Amino acid sequence: MKFVGEHILSVSQFARSDIDRLFAVAEKMIPYANRKKVTRVLEGAILGNMFFEASTRTRVSFGCAWNLLGGEVRETTEIKASSLSKGESFYDTARVLSGYSDIIVMRHGQEGSVGEFAGASRVPVINAGDGANEHPSQALLDLYTIRQEMLGRRKKVDGLRIALIGDLRFGRAVHSLCELLSLYENIQFTLISPKDLSLPEKYLTLIKERGHQIEESEDLHAGIAKSDIIYMTRTQEERFASQDEANKYRGLLRLNQSIYTEFCEPNTVIMHPLPRDSRGEAQELDEDLNENPNLAIFRQTDNGVVVRMALFALILDVAEQIEVSSRDVNWYTERRFN
Amino acid sequence: MKFVGEHILSVSQFARSDIDRLFAVAEKMIPYANRKKVTRVLEGAILGNMFFEASTRTRVSFGCAWNLLGGEVRETTEIKASSLSKGESFYDTARVLSGYSDIIVMRHGQEGSVGEFAGASRVPVINAGDGANEHPSQALLDLYTIRQEMLGRRKKVDGLRIALIGDLRFGRAVHSLCELLSLYENIQFTLISPKDLSLPEKYLTLIKERGHQIEESEDLHAGIAKSDIIYMTRTQEERFASQDEANKYRGLLRLNQSIYTEFCEPNTVIMHPLPRDSRGEAQELDEDLNENPNLAIFRQTDNGVVVRMALFALILDVAEQIEVSSRDVNWYTERRFN
Amino acid sequence: MKFVGEHILSVSQFARSDIDRLFAVAEKMIPYANRKKVTRVLEGAILGNMFFEASTRTRVSFGCAWNLLGGEVRETTEIKASSLSKGESFYDTARVLSGYSDIIVMRHGQEGSVGEFAGASRVPVINAGDGANEHPSQALLDLYTIRQEMLGRRKKVDGLRIALIGDLRFGRAVHSLCELLSLYENIQFTLISPKDLSLPEKYLTLIKERGHQIEESEDLHAGIAKSDIIYMTRTQEERFASQDEANKYRGLLRLNQSIYTEFCEPNTVIMHPLPRDSRGEAQELDEDLNENPNLAIFRQTDNGVVVRMALFALILDVAEQIEVSSRDVNWYTERRFN
């Protein structure tokens, strides 16, 4: 993968060497994301942040990553406001919108829509989620988080023991993460889910073919015992035939501090693609974990910013120019906690 | 109050010395807000303008104030598009969103929501309205306007005679303004409202305890006769049990030019937190007042920009740096009228 | 027309000399819109991009044009979020919002609304569409496209032969384009529409009075035979009494590659104000024309950016300053195709 000028549509585009390169650039972005330094490398460039489906966090994360490189953001936030609803094709929309910006980030509820759009776009396109299909930057930030957390514990991603928990059937974040992890060596996957929500055969096959180990289980306590990472997910309720159907799974698999203390090795990392459902009957990750320093869920979203900055910088070929226009931040930036 | 790094959640945080300091900075912002000069002091900084409830004017005013300091704005405009609707807690939303920006302005319909959010935020938060509770920057811009209008008439806020008119029960703008004015000396409040919409006991007590005078009345004409400021409000119709209930009060208290001429002292200032209801049956401030130079309602919204600039500058500790990157404006800025 | 400080509300404001001046500035904008160069001439200036009616493309095009000049954009995208829905007058909205920005672009569904707003605004206002009335920048970009396409074919706008096809009754783009073209010499209009959707008398009269030729026809094939430009439109379905009524006209007039090859002169230009309706039963411009180099529809939207940049630059009096802060672009800008 050369990155420069390329679309980012799927995690399957990435070889391990691409990931190493991306993460090396992401690390260089940390002082900018942490507001120690300012760079203006993309001053004058425009991001088309095209969200044809609701999303605050992903939309703002991409916009913020772009702003931190010095660029401007033009945005849309709903499909009803778009010509797509007057019968316009993705081809036309892409030809038009790609005349307005230097790069496009797009989310749309329809599987394959972003790829179709990218086929007609005159500028690089990043898939920020196309229905049940892919959301590659989420998987990349998850993998980057795993790498950073392991580094902090003097471990590597190779040899990782990870427990994937919850709705493994519908969660696209889990699917893409499995695919990326399979590029590494000797990963031990523990899959914990209700039978009807188990990981699709396609991913099981991929993982096995690439020489990793899989253990499937419905027992949370046994499953999390020997893990470096616990990756918990919420039930993708919007994918079920009915709310009643979805409710059957709500609250079945929960982690809280006392379970963590009793069953996990010390310093086991807890991750979640967020949002976590904090309503009483769900609570897949109990709020009593909030003070646990191994809870990495907010480091994940922070990492999303540097990973997205790195994607932008590589695609637009400015990764080597970041420091040219760099200077120290001149305003208050003392954060309350990390 | 030290301002630097602090949340702005309530007018009760402010002592009189804080207000004096804030307004001194606000005055320094005038040439920038009036487009005589440009400053880039916050170039590279990001505002998270998080409006989980509809508002054009307040949202744009905050965004504009930030832009005038040189910073970038990331924004959200509806609660449906947010993870809050998928069961996410304010704690999680705050932990995530505060990783994206240098400061957050937040509006949400639920009382206390912004305070809860601020408790978990890693960056300073400004409350832009949390339901019936508070909207402190509105009260600050009202007070700043009173001060500026009095200055222009060679008077002071101390000793002010102010008539507060309309729905004094539900209007949060009025409540916060009363609290701020009570920090000054010897204010004479005239409260004019239908009995059922009178000022809550809590504020009456506060005003009296701090040694000010109160007169309550249902008679508009007598009430406005000896005032420096007339502060008119619209009925907060959305707070009533039914539209029928709200309609009982519509149009009861109206000011127009002939009433003004007959009953007011010369140069009595007319204020309103806006929007004013200009439908025929409401018209608390008649449009025939539009040419009256004492109608200060659009100076109020203009003042909102400099007051918000000052809040940003003090919280992020750049008030002393504004002029470092200052230069003259190079484009057309001749306004049609003020 | 002096441009500086003026509102742009209607194409009737433009004399031919104004258009010549506007288009000369637009041509100077090409290297900036094509991302060869960056200018920061409006750094620190704010656009109020006020869309009280849904529109992605026009809104983003204006915002992008402004960003390309170095300015910041504050935006609104829906009427429900505005004080207009609480009974506020256009006068009040304009007085308030014009305190926030250096220029306002406004769209609103109600005819005449933007003019009323402009009457009270303290900054210049550009009409981006007020219901069935006007959308002058669309007509200007259409005319600019005609001029550029003719130039490329060593022809002029004077003497142009243009076929206007489809819903000529409700399409405001067509109406305004007719008015602008009538400023030139000796235009031959061929009007092709169902009888009930023919061009209103008002425009027929104007065209004739100014000495141009009109031919009306219901026969597409004959009508397009001797044309320099084919300007195709979609049926404005939202203007009909019912969907059934609108459906009567759907798909009646269609152009595809085989009709083009059989009936048109070589290099006849194909235009459309977009969006085109690509649903099977409509398809006024078949997708098999996408590879036809004479299909100018995406050059039209690209031209929208430079024409809007030129409007901004002339109104704010910076057209002569563009190059002062100009520099080469430092990021990847290789477009995939034009």
If you ran DSSP here, which 8-state letter would residue A124 be given?
Answer: -
Chosen for mutation from C43, C64, C331 (greatest number of chain A CBs closer than 10 Å) is C331
What pLDDT, on the 0 to 100 scale, is given for residue A23?
A: 98
What pLDDT, on the 0 to 100 scale, is given for residue C54?
A: 82
List, as ranges, residues 73-102 from B with C-beta within 8 Å of C: 73, 77-78
Domain-embedded: residue A335: no
* Among C266, C265, C261, C269, residue whose Cα is nearest residue C288: C261
Domain that holds residue C203: 137-298
What pLDDT, on the 0 to 100 scale, is given for residue B252?
A: 83
**Mean pLDDT lowest for which of A78-82, A183-187, B124-128?**
A78-82
**Mean pLDDT lowest for which of B144-158, C95-109, C281-295?**
C281-295
pLDDT at residue A75 tops 80: yes
Does residue A58 share a domain with residue A171? no
Query: Mean pLDDT over residues C160-186, rounded?
Result: 96
Domain-embedded: residue C25: yes
pLDDT at residue A336 tops 70: no
> What's the start-to-end Cα distance of chain A, in Å?
34
What pLDDT, on the 0 to 100 scale, is given for residue A338?
A: 44
Chosen for mutation from B41, B52, B55, B57 (greatest number of chain C CBs closer than 10 Å) is B57
Are A18 and A10 a contacting pair, CB within 8 Å?
Answer: no
* Among C135, C85, C86, C84, residue whose Cα is nearest residue C106: C135
Give tens-digit pLDDT for A243-285.
888 888 888 899 999 999 999 999 999 999 999 888 877 788 9
Domain-embedded: residue A333: no
Bridge-based pairing of strands C188-192 and C213-217 is parallel
pLDDT at residue A78 tops 80: no
Helix axis angle for C57-68 and A90-97, nearest 10°, is 20
| Count of C-beta atoms within a 10 Å radius of residue C154 | 6
* Closest approach of B197 to chain C, Cα-based (Å): 20
**Euclidean distance between CA atoms C126 and C10, whole angstroms:** 9
* Among B172, B51, B103, B64, residue whose Cα is nearest residue B318: B103
Does residue A88 share a domain with residue A119? yes
pLDDT at residue B337 tops 60: no
pLDDT at residue C336 tops 70: no
Chains contacting B (3+ CB pairs below 8 angstroms): A, C
Task: Compare CB distances from B64 to C81, C101, C123 and report the shortest one's residue.
Answer: C101
* Chain A neighbors of B101, CB-CB under 8 A: 64
Q: Do C122 and B335 touch (CB under 8 A)?
A: yes
pLDDT at residue C337 tops 60: no
Q: Do A57 and B318 touch (CB under 8 A)?
A: no
pLDDT at residue B160 tops 50: yes
**Euclidean distance between CA atoms C256 and B230, whole angstroms:** 68
* CATH number for A128: 3.40.50.1370
Bridge-based pairing of strands A213-217 and A188-192 is parallel
Q: Do C95 and B57 touch (CB under 8 A)?
A: no
* Chain A neighbors of C277, CB-CB under 8 A: 86-88
**Euclidean distance between CA atoms B202 and B209, whole angstroms:** 11
pLDDT band at C218 (very low <50, low <70, confident <90, very high): confident
pLDDT at residue C14 tops 90: yes
pLDDT band at A79 (very low <50, low <70, confident <90, very high): low
Domain-embedded: residue C222: yes
* Chain B neighbors of A109, CB-CB under 8 A: none
Domain-embedded: residue A334: no
* Chain A neighbors of B320, CB-CB under 8 A: none
Does residue B190 share a domain with residue B80? no
What pLDDT, on the 0 to 100 scale, is given for residue B244?
A: 87
Task: Compare CB distances from C67 to A74, A88, A97 and report the shortest one's residue.
Answer: A74
Does residue B282 share a domain with residue B156? yes
**Euclidean distance between CA atoms B301 and B303, whole angstroms:** 5
Bridge-based pairing of strands B125-130 and B161-165 is unpaired
Give tens-digit pLDDT for A34-64.
999 999 999 999 999 999 988 899 999 999 9
**pLDDT: which is higher, A243 or A328:** A328
Q: Is C261 on the interface with A (CB under 8 A)?
A: no
**pLDDT: which is higher, B251 or A202:** A202
pTM, whole model, 2 decimals?
0.96
Q: Do C87 and B282 touch (CB under 8 A)?
A: yes
The chain B residue lying nearest C7, using CA atoms, is B336
Chosen for mutation from B281, B330, B334, B335 (greatest number of chain C CBs closer than 10 Å) is B330
Does residue B324 share a domain with residue B269? no
What pLDDT, on the 0 to 100 scale, is given for residue B40?
A: 97
pLDDT at residue C338 tops 50: no
pLDDT band at A240 (very low <50, low <70, confident <90, very high): confident
Does residue B203 share a domain with residue B119? no
Total structural domains in chain A?
2
Q: Do C41 and B277 touch (CB under 8 A)?
A: no
Domain-embedded: residue C163: yes
What pLDDT, on the 0 to 100 scale, is given for residue A81?
A: 53
Are A62 and A136 a contacting pair, CB within 8 Å?
Answer: no
Query: Mean pLDDT over residues C300-307, rounded?
Result: 98
Is the sign of the CA dihedral C261, C267, C268, C273 positive or negative? positive
List, as ranges, residues 225-244 from C with C-beta within 8 Å of A: 234
pLDDT at residue B6 tops 90: yes
Does residue C200 share a domain with residue C54? no
Chosen for mutation from B47, B59, B332 (greatest number of chain C CBs closer than 10 Å) is B332
Q: How many CB pairs under 8 A join A and B?
A: 107
Does residue B167 share a domain with residue B96? no
pLDDT above 70 as % of chain B = 97
Helix residue ranges per DSSP H, A98-235: 113-120, 136-152, 172-181, 201-209, 220-223
**Euclidean distance between CA atoms C27 and A163, whole angstroms:** 60
The chain B residue lying nearest C3, using CA atoms, is B332
What pLDDT, on the 0 to 100 scale, is given for residue B338?
A: 44
Task: Compare CB distances from A83 to C56, C64, C282 and report the shortest one's residue.
Answer: C56
pLDDT at residue B54 tops 70: yes
Does residue A281 share a domain with residue A158? yes
Task: Compare CB distances from B83 to A64, A275, A337 and report the shortest one's residue.
Answer: A275
What pLDDT, on the 0 to 100 scale, is given for residue A80?
A: 64
Query: Mean pLDDT over residues B235-253, rounded?
Result: 84
Domain-embedded: residue C37: yes
What pLDDT, on the 0 to 100 scale, is given for residue A238?
A: 78
* Chain C neighbors of B57, CB-CB under 8 A: 83, 96-97
What pLDDT, on the 0 to 100 scale, is given for residue B81?
A: 53
Q: Do A278 and B87 touch (CB under 8 A)?
A: yes
List, as ranges, residues 13-42 from A with C-beta within 8 Å of B: 35, 38-40
**What's the burial of B35, exposed, middle or buried (CB within 10 Å: 0-12/13-18/19+)?**
buried
* Among A93, A34, A102, A88, residue whose Cα is nearest residue A317: A102
If you ran DSSP here, which 8-state letter would residue A211 be given?
Answer: T
Does residue B316 share a domain with residue B281? no
Does residue A186 share a domain with residue A89? no
If you ran DSSP here, which 8-state letter would residue B255 be given?
Answer: B
* Chain A neighbors of B83, CB-CB under 8 A: 56-57, 274-275
What pLDDT, on the 0 to 100 scale, is given for residue A242?
A: 86
Q: Do B275 and C41 touch (CB under 8 A)?
A: no
Could you check whether the bond before residue A275 is cis, i.e. omega within 30 degrees of 0? Answer: yes
Does residue B309 share a domain with residue B237? no
Chains contacting C (3+ CB pairs below 8 angstroms): A, B
